[in-house]
């Protein structure tokens, strides 16, 4: 590992990893810092005000008409014959850590004396550009977990979807609130109930910070690499402790 980098990487793979260890571009911008101060995370179990609202078929139809009359684009919602509806949601990607995407390198393979191109699957890591947004066309019953899967496919991200979470962002009384959506919540339903205003409700994809490391989300090579890192850190810590006590012992003997 480089001195200022804590990202695990195999020794033979380090040349294939494109990783800026100084952090994503613009990570130290003042705007992000100011917003972070205002943000207040709420518990995933605390439903938002519009999440508690129940609508019948007539109310859904009326809400869709009101929603379409308020937007200034062609991203309309449409009511289907079966009672469901379709529409667009905009998701902002605010990822502070790099994501992994596949990278295929063609290498020669000798078979029967003739070279044949053979694709070798590799991965590379990079930071998504600041302020990346994506519009998704989804159904009313599309779940938050399915939105995450769709976003990762759009950007060909091969990281485990459980490493990410979808958040709703709202502004109230000059305070910004973030709430992590449960896997089975329906973002388009929240969009319809909240209306088209981005200040009232917007969606953000972030890292899934649960307070505890979700080890099941890592692959076996990653876990083995973490064990090696822990072993090296432990050995270094023990070495420093022994060195410190050895110096103390030497000073005491000199004093005697």
Residue 222: how many other CB atoms lie within 10 Å: 13
Q: Are 232 and 184 found together in one domain?
A: no
Q: Is 24's pLDDT higher than 70?
A: no
Whole-number Å distance between alpha carbons of 211 and 57: 40
Q: Are residues 130 and 226 in the same domain?
A: no
DSSP string, 175-224: EEEEEEPPTT--HHHHHHHH-S-TTT-EEEEEE---SS--GGGS-HHHHH
Query: Residues 187, 203: contact at Cβ < 8 Å?
Result: yes
Residue found under tokens 């393979």:
109
Rounded percentage of the chain residues whose pLDDT exceeds 70: 70
| pLDDT digit string, tens, across residues 93-135 | 998 888 888 876 443 443 444 444 444 457 787 788 878 999 9
Q: Are residues 184 and 143 in the same domain?
A: yes
Residue 189 lies in a domain: yes
pLDDT tens column, 216-225: 777 888 888 8
Q: Indicate if 237 and 162 belong to the same structural domain.
A: no
Which run of H or E residues covers position 138?
Answer: strand 133-139
**What's the confidence (pLDDT) of residue 48?**
56
pTM reported for the whole predicted model? 0.60
Of 145, 144, 153, the C-alpha closest to 187 is: 144
Structure confidence at residue 52 (pLDDT): 62
Residues facing residue 175 across a β-bridge: 172
> Is residue 162 situated within a structural domain?
yes
If asked whether residues 177 and 145 sit together in one domain, one would say yes
- CATH number of the domain at 145, please: 3.10.20.90
Helix, strand, or coil (residue 54): coil
Q: Is residue 105 part of a domain?
A: no
Strands 78-79 and 99-111, bridge-based pairing = unpaired
Residue 29 lies in a domain: no
- Is residue 31 over pLDDT 80? no
How many domains, in total, are found in the chain? 2
Q: What is the mean pLDDT of the chain?
A: 78
């Amino acid at each position: 590992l480089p001195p200022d980098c804590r990202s695990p990487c195999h020794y033979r793979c380090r040349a294939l990893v494109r990783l800026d260890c100084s952090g994503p571009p613009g990570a130290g911008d003042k705007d992000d810092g100011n917003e972070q101060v205002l943000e207040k995370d709420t518990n995933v179990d605390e439903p938002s005000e519009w999440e508690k609202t129940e609508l019948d078929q007539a109310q859904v139809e009326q809400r869709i008409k009101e929603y379409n009359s308020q937007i200034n684009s062609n991203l309309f919602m449409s009511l289907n014959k079966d009672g469901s509806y379709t529409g667009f949601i905009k998701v902002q990607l605010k990822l502070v850590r790099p994501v992994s995407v596949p990278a295929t390198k063609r290498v020669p393979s000798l078979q029967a004396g003739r070279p044949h191109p053979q694709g070798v699957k590799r991965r590379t890591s990079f930071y998504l550009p600041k302020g990346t947004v994506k519009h998704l066309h989804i159904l009313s019953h599309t779940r938050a977990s399915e939105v995450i899967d769709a976003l990762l496919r759009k950007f060909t991200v091969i990281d485990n979807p459980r490493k990410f979470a979808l958040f709703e962002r709202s502004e109230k009384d000059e305070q910004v609130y973030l709430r992590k959506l449960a896997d089975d919540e329906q973002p388009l339903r929240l969009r319809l109930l909240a209306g088209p205003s981005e200040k009232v409700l917007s969606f953000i994809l972030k890292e899934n910070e649960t307070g505890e490391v979700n080890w099941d989300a890592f692959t076996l090579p990653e876990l083995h690499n973490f064990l090696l890192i822990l072993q090296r850190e432990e050995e270094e810590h023990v070495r420093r402790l022994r060195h410190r006590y050895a110096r103390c012992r030497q000073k005491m003997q000199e004093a005697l």
